[in-house]
Amino acid sequence: MRIDVVSIFPEYLAPLELSLIGKARQDGLVELNVHDLRTFTTDKHRTVDDTPYGGGAGMVMKPEPWAQALESVAGVREGTKPVLIVPSPAGERFTQALAYELAEEEQLVFACGRYEGIDERVIDWAQEHFTVRPVSLGDYVLNGGEVAVLAMVEAIGRLLPGVVGNPESLVEESHSDGLLEYPVYTKPSSWRDHEVPPVLLSGNHGKIAQWRRHEQFRRTAERRPDLLDNFDAGQLSRADRNALADLGYNVVDGRLRRRMESNTAQQTR
Ligand code: JFT
């Protein structure tokens, strides 16, 4: 996979050279290049921003340096449009499903803006040369696209064949089965008066698997009940259904439904 990132803060993307993605680069699995937007300006002050039409606070990124930068990195290849990912607070949410989708692409280009954003005509113009995807990392406010790109490139990069050593560690993790992960422990078994759950020391692999699954349901119900709203209950075993019943969930029409809380009985949680 080829990845190009355009930013006025190329140093911000330096961590991509390290760790997982750095290893993938050395092994030739990913070709990653970071480009400084200012090298595509033509005035002596290397201006990338200007005041917004219609008034309002802050500055807007000028369109021409972006067109020059994107034309330069696009790579003129027949019949293929690279995907242009534009981090934006107004983009579609970046999810694990989108990471899998983007990991299939031959070339990804990321356009990191700053200030109040990039002149919208860049997005319109770019549709001729790219498949444009405005994407948001999440519902909180960042100062620009760089941090979002660090997260997205790491999430996509680790899905490329050969980047994560053990493919099982990709399957067994959060969001691949729509549940949060079970808690993990290592030695010592007793630490500062906190014990490892005894079942994990039992050597009973069936019981361990059952306990871990129950912990996944328990944590998901507690921390991310929204994930259970769309959970496909068709895949659930009898043991799963019992675990969920303990947590107050029944299966109705292939979906999970929270049981009504009793007005009289004391809830123990
Ligand atoms: C924020 C952003 C993402 C993502 C791109 C550009 C400028 C600053 C800003 C903040 C609030 C409103 C502009 C960006 C993000 C996220 C992405 C830009 N800003 N308008 N914020 N939060 N999850 N991806 Cl360009």
Shortest-distance atom of ligand 1 to CA 112:
25
How many other CB atoms sit within 10 Å of the CB of residue 149? 26
Alpha carbon distance 150, 107 (integer Å): 16
Is the separation of the CB atoms in 125 and 68 below 8 Å? no
pTM for the predicted model, two decimal places: 0.93
Q: How confident is the model at residue 167 (pLDDT cuts 50, 70, 90)?
A: low
What is the tens place of the pLDDT at every residue in 24-52? 777 889 999 999 999 999 999 999 999 99
pLDDT exceeds 80 at position 22: no
pLDDT at res. 172: 55
Shortest-distance atom of ligand 1 to CA 116:
13
What is the tens place of the pLDDT at every residue in 229-266? 999 999 899 999 999 999 999 999 999 999 988 877 65
Measured in angstroms, how far is the CA atom of residue 114 from the centroid of ligand 1? 7
Between 206 and 268, the more confident residue is: 206
How many other CB atoms sit within 10 Å of the CB of residue 233? 18
Query: 33 CB contacts (<8 Å, ≥6 apart)?
Result: 3, 4, 5, 73
Q: Determine whether the shortest distance from the Cβ of 137 to ligand 1 is under 6 A.
A: yes
Joined together, the tokens standing for residue 219 give 């944590």
Q: How confident is the model at residue 268 (pLDDT cuts 50, 70, 90)?
A: low
Alpha carbon distance 58, 48 (integer Å): 13
Between 185 and 230, the more confident residue is: 185
pLDDT at res. 164: 63
The lowest-confidence range among 5-19, 27-41, 67-81, 237-251 is 67-81
pLDDT at res. 5: 97
What is the tens place of the pLDDT at every residue in 92-137? 999 999 999 999 999 999 999 999 999 999 999 999 999 999 999 9
Measured in angstroms, how far is the CA atom of residue 141 from the centroid of ligand 1? 6
> Minimal CA–CA distance to 31: which of 78, 82, 101?
82
Strand partners, 43: none
| Mean residue pLDDT across the chain | 92
From atom 16 of ligand 1, which residue's Cα is the shortest distance away? 89
pLDDT exceeds 60 at position 160: yes
Q: Determine whether the shortest distance from the Cβ of 145 to ligand 1 is under 6 A.
A: yes
pLDDT exceeds 90 at position 16: no
Measured in angstroms, how far is the CA atom of residue 133 from the centroid of ligand 1? 14
pLDDT at res. 60: 99
Joined together, the tokens standing for residue 257 give 């439904």
pLDDT at res. 107: 97
